[in-house]
Amino acid sequence: MKTGITIRPFAEEDSPRVRELFITINRLLSPPHMVDAFESYIARSLSQEIDRIAAYYRERDGSFWVAVREHTIVGMFGLERVAPDALELRRMYVDPSVRRSGIARQMLLFAEDECRRRRIPKLELSTSELQDAALALYRGAGYTLIREEFAEESTNKTVGGGIRRYYFEKSF
């Protein structure tokens, strides 16, 4: 599927759009009974990560990219080192107005190619039960489910509140 996007490294001038996309997606994901938990998660993630993307990913031997279509950021994702032999895919989001057009798949392939380029043999990722399309994408792309857990603790990586999380990996 042709996506008509360019994937390029994050630049500081991308910050407002990346921030907006992060907030929008997470508010859309929030079940009605978890609005307060999601708002806390959003605030924590903004201060710890999203509002300092360049530093956050540099500190973790990683990088962050944006997907651009017609001069507009329509997607984003990051990679951070989680083990000597593994990177973790983080913050892969696609603007709701352009979903189901192959952008997520293109970003995932880019992340896999980055692992190969860096000679890192494994890509890890996680998603929640609230993200059916992501679950289907990862399963369809050959990722192996390595564990499931209920995220009780709220961090900049999980909302908490007992949401089921699925952890996947793929080796190259």
Domain CATH number, residue 45: 3.40.630.30
pLDDT at residue 95, rounded to an integer = 97
Alpha carbon distance, N-terminus to C-terminus of the chain: 23
pLDDT at residue 156, rounded to an integer = 63
The Cα 104–Cα 9 span in angstroms is 16
Q: How many CB atoms lie within 10 A of CB 14?
A: 20
Is residue 38 in a domain? Answer: yes
Is residue 43 in a domain? Answer: yes
Is residue 62 in a domain? Answer: yes
Structural domain span for residue 26: 6-121
Is residue 14 in a domain? Answer: yes
Nearest CA to 59 among 78, 80, 43, 85? 80
Rounded mean pLDDT for each run of 10 residues along the chain, 172 residues in total: 84 98 96 93 96 97 97 98 98 95 97 98 96 96 96 73 92 95
Is residue 41 in a domain? Answer: yes
Is residue 160 in a domain? Answer: no
Is residue 170 in a domain? Answer: no
Q: What share of the chain is helix, strand, coil (3-state, %, to 5)?
A: 40, 35, 25
- How many independent structural domains does the chain possess? 1
pLDDT at residue 158, rounded to an integer = 75
| Beta-carbon contacts of residue 58 (< 8 Å; ≥ 6 apart) | none
Tokens of 54: 């360049």
Is residue 141 in a domain? Answer: no
Tokens of 141: 């792309």
Task: State which H helix or E strand residue 87 sits in.
Answer: strand 86-94
